[in-house]
Structure 1
Amino acid sequence: MQRLLIVIFIITSSSSSQLEDPQVDPLSNCLKKYNSLRQQAKLRHDAEVRTLQKQLPKFTKPSNRLQHLVSGETLILSCPNTANPPANTSWTFKRGEDYEPLQRDIGGYKFRRWSLIMTNVISMDSAMYKCTVCNTLGCIDFEFTVVVIDRLRASPKIKKMDNKTALINTRVEVKCDVLSDAKAAVEWIRVMQHNHSRPLKLDSLDRDLVRLPLNTTVDQRELLLLNNVTHQDEGWYTCVASSSLGSSNASFYLQVIDHLPYLYVSDLYRSDPMGFTVTIGMIMLLILLGTALVLVYRVRRLRRQNALAVRSFSI
């Protein structure tokens, strides 16, 4: 279409020039103008090509080399890059010394532009993965270290909690440390027994127990906060952790007292031998230093009195 318009323009211009000068050959004039326009178009095209310079591949975004996952999750490895002409991205992996083509024992791979996707990863997918980006000018590569940890297929585990002793009208803060691969729901309850002589057992069939749910923050369900405790707050407190794999609980006893118990020297030494020794040493050093200052003061005072007595006797 463009060439047709050029030819029509040339013919029109040649016709007008022929009317002005009958001796001019219309065909040669048309060819000259056509070649001139074609040459100009070629020059413009060459200039545009020169502006588009070729480029080696390079990564456009930094990636994390170490990838930690839990079995069952989805792994996405990406090597975003830019290049001219466009580059091809290929993937290999190795568990030993050399890189090999991708191969999974269970499951497959998905490729999206410069990304590698693996769903439902298992511990056998742990390996080093390398993306290689190449075009006609050269290649670049990047390595990922993938570590997949198997899930702990068991009910949540709660760290043992020690009994607490608190002064009256103080604040008590207790954390329930839960170990679980599956997401666990944490709840604090207060357990009260009508018959205190019986051992504490969280049995759903035990009618001697009274369970009182406690209010905790929405963001930190595992943290129990008791403000301005009184003697009525004394008793058993239980943390219950539940998941799809089961539930578990742990309890501690809170004792509220009016004043702290008196500590004897032997108790202080057993609680912190090093600190106790350092404290005693500093006290003895201060006593010796004070004794030395008193002696120096008395000696100077005695010398001054003797000097005054000698001077008065001589007069």
Structure 2
Amino acid sequence: MGINQRVTVIAIVVLIFVLKSILSSSTPPFSTGQALSWNLDEEQFERIKVRNGSKLRLWFKGPKYPSSTITWYKDGKKIKNVTSRLKIKQSSLVILKLEEDDSGEYACYKQNQHGEVWKNYTLTVTTDPLITKPVIQSPLNQTVAYLDDVKFQCKVIMNSTSTNIQWFKHYQVNGSYTNEDGVPYVHVIQQSRLNHSSEILYIKNVTYEDAGWYTCLVTNAVGRAYQSAWLTVTVPSTLAKRTIFGMLILRT
């Protein structure tokens, strides 16, 4: 190899080395930024069912990027009309006093120059009542005279579905109202399906055997509720006593 060829090879090697040094040490003329990525802790599609009149917040928890823009859509159309009932706050969409017309397909679209991500929601606004266990108001303790009439009222103050109601009369076995497992001794004395707000237990011509503990039990598909009251039977204040053939007759 001649001198000129050697010089040429050395020059090429030096040039390559210099170019590599420049490329490895120089910064790009602009920042590449950061591409949008999906938050693995969040579902990309969500179904939501709420009652009308409620408040709803749809929230996209994806990562925040200063250079990204966020757009909300309903049924494929960009949401532009922000009202006193509908508010957009960056990654969240708030709807007050939901109506059935608010049902639909919602999407949050987040974009920067390097990519995009979506979060989709299916919203159903329903007028169906929420099913809850019943809530009842306790019947009141009663005190009545012998042979008078008495009534206990079991008032249901909250109920959302078909309901069964039962009245029980408690009794004792060997001086106890419950067995060894704590289960009460009871007789079912009245039962029906509740189609109004209260159920009344009537007892006519009360005797001393009717005195004791009564319980109203209300059940539906979700749960049950019960309340109890005590009946006291007294001797009439205007009692006339007569003995006929050795028998005691009570009358008012």
Same fold (TM over 0.5): no
What is the TM-score with the length of structure 2 in the denominator? 0.44
Greater length-normalized contact order (CA 8 Å, ≥ 6 residues apart): 2
Name which one, 1 or 2, has greater alpha-carbon Rg: 1
Say which structure is richer in helix: 1
Say which structure is richer in strand: 2
